[in-house]
């Protein structure tokens, strides 16, 4: 199975190189690596329409931090849908929607963020579905701030 | 780490990394073995948090994220050389990539049964995680985060609920990138996204709002139902939206990027011989309702043709 518009030939070639497979301790009887498995997708049963109840439970524990981020040019899982989803959770806004920054020699606007208690919804400006590939510096700044509990 | 899992030499690198990394298998339910690749932090592996990364699909490999997105190595176009990524997420975190569910990438099941569902994936991911902490027990003392993207927007919170019950794990939180959180909200919002990005014109927008919204004068964020509207006029208009987003050659994963390989030959829905073709691709189940509905209608419309 191929991902439309995404070139996966280099990674497919690399991971099917016998020397690479040996380095990764992949048994010889394992079939070729492919980026997505159509067999898995075709046999998959989608049980849920939404993760709202799951997020409600995580939030109600009052001790776990959540970051939802979206490259804002993605159409597979678009930012607006996730913005609506976050709004549907009914969280108390803590910090108003604002620009957040990364540094590429000078401070630049990386996107926009809205923060609630233990919860942030953040966009990455000009990034698509694969945020760390499209905007590596901004993505690294974002995840590092999140993991270290620093402000965005 | 487990010595038998350690990667001592990775082909394609001019210089082997200064950090340790491990590749092996974790036991899930039954005969399922999930492949992992653990990359120690480049800063302070003893103190830095442990971050699990899951990819979506369902059916797509997290090694794509490792080798093309947020991992320390970037595969070059020749399919052999690797370059280092200055913005790797393992610069200040230990990152564990898990290929899940069984059947994805190098993960497998001895019984070759790859039928699964959301609940089962959550359980298998949790079992694999427990096996990981058995094999690498010192990570139990590290802060632990669950992250992922796309359809992992379902995997991540579902796994989080299980991990929350496990007091042995220092679970801190979750991060989801371009995740699927709600199929209806994603399906509805993409129509606004398309209109406000100029992908569909005023005529189609008018058709959509007249047939999918309760009143022409109340177009706001949640008043329209584009996703599963039973009005046939709405469904017809939505087929056109779906066609623009999925079929004409736009890169749906990054609107402003080119489509690798160019506009797909089936984009117009007709082959050179005049026949219509049924196409299949991998996506989050965002457009399933309309997509398959559209294909069913196409089959009806062209029943006198030979379908391929």
Q: At A112, phi and psi to the nearest 5?
A: -135, 150
pLDDT at B283 over 60: no
* pLDDT tens digits along A30-75: 999 999 999 999 999 999 999 999 999 999 999 999 999 999 999 9
DSSP string, B174-242: EEEEEE-SBHHHHHHHHHHHHHHTTSS-HHHHHHHHHHHSS-TT---TTT---SS---HHHHHHHHHHH
Q: How many Cβ contacts (< 8 angstroms) between chains A and B?
A: 339
ipTM of the complex: 0.97
Contact at CB, A30 and B79, closer than 8 angstroms: no
Torsion angle, alpha carbons of B281, B150, A114, B242, to 10: 10
- Residue in chain A nearest B24 by alpha carbon: A25
Q: Across the interface, do A136 and B85 touch by the CB < 8 Å criterion?
A: yes
Say if CB A19 and CB B153 are below 8 A apart.
no
Is B175–A85 a contact, with Cβ atoms under 8 angstroms apart?
no
For residue A105, the tally of other CB atoms under 10 A from its CB is 5
CB contacts under 8 A, A 72-101 vs B, are 73-85, 88
- Contact flag A49-B182 (C-beta cutoff 8 Å): yes
**A54-58, A88-92, B165-169, B220-224: the lowest-pLDDT one:** B220-224
Average pLDDT of the segment spanning B173-185: 97
Of B63, B158, B261, the CB nearest to A54: B158
**Which residue out of B178, B183, B256, B288 would a mutagenesis test of the A interface target, given it has the greatest number of A Cβ atoms within 10 Å?**
B178
Q: Which residues of chain A make contact with B59, given a CB cutoff of 8 A?
A: 1, 36-41, 44
A126 interaction partners in chain B (CB closer than 8 Å): 256
pLDDT tens string B70-82? 999 999 999 999 9
């Amino acid at each position: 199975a191929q991902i439309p518009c995404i070139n996966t030939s280099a990674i497919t070639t690399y991971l099917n190189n016998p020397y690479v497979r040996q380095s990764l301790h992949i048994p010889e009887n394992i079939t070729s690596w492919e980026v997505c498995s159509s067999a898995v997708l075709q046999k998959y049963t989608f049980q849920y329409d939404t993760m709202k109840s799951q997020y409600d439970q995580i939030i109600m524990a009052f001790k776990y931090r959540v970051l939802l981020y979206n490259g804002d040019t993605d159409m597979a899982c678009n930012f607006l849908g996730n913005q609506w989803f976050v709004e549907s959770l009914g969280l108390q806004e803590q910090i108003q929607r604002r620009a957040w920054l990364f540094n590429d020699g000078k401070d630049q606007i990386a996107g926009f963020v809205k923060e609630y208690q233990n919860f942030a919804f953040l966009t990455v400006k000009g990034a698509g579905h694969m945020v760390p590939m499209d905007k590596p510096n901004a993505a690294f700044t974002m995840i590092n701030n999140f993991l270290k509990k620093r402000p965005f | 780490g487990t010595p038998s899992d350690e990667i001592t030499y990775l082909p394609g690198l001019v210089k082997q990394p200064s950090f340790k990394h491990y590749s092996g298998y974790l036991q899930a339910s039954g005969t399922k073995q999930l492949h992992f690749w653990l990359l120690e932090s480049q800063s302070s592996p003893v103190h830095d948090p442990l971050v699990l990364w899951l990819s979506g699909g369902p059916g797509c490999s997290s090694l794509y994220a490792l080798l093309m997105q947020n991992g320390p190595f970037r595969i070059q176009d020749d399919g052999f050389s690797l370059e280092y990524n200055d913005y790797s997420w393992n610069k200040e975190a230990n990152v564990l990539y898990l290929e899940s569910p069984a059947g994805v990438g190098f993960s497998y099941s001895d019984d070759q049964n790859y039928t699964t569902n959301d609940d089962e994936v959550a359980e298998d991911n949790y079992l694999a995680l427990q096996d990981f902490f058995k094999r690498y027990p010192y990570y139990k003392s590290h802060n632990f985060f669950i992250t992922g993207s796309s359809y992992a927007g379902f995997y991540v919170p579902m796994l989080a609920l299980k991990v929350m019950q496990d007091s042995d794990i220092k679970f801190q939180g979750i991060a989801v990138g371009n995740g699927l959180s709600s199929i209806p909200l994603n399906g509805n919002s993409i129509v606004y996204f398309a209109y406000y990005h100029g992908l569909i014109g005023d005529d189609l927008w008018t058709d959509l709002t007249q047939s999918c919204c309760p009143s022409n004068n109340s177009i706001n964020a949640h008043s329209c139902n584009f996703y599963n509207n039973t009005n046939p006029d709405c469904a017809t208009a939505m087929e056109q939206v779906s066609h623009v987003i999925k079929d004409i050659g736009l890169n749906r994963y990054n609107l402003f990027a080119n489509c690798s390989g160019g506009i797909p030959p089936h984009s117009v829905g007709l082959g050179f011989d005049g026949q219509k073709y049924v196409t299949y691709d991998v996506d989050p189940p965002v457009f399933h309702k309309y997509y398959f509905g559209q294909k069913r209608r196409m089959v009806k419309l062209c029943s006198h043709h030979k379908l391929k």
